[in-house]
Amino acid sequence: MKLVEIGRALMSDAKLLLLDEPVSGVNPTLAHEIFSRILKLRDELGVTFFIVEHRIDIALKYVDEIFAMAFGKLIASGLPDEVMNDKRVIEAYLGG
Provide the annotated active-site residues.
Answer: 21
What residue type is assigned to position 70 of the chain?
A
What is d(CA 29, CA 17) in angstroms, rounded to the nearest whole number? 23
Which residue, 59, 12, 9, 13, is CA-closest to 36? Answer: 59
Within its chain, how far is the Cα of 42 from the centroid? 13
> How far apart are the C-alpha atoms of 21 and 43, rounded to whole Å?
21
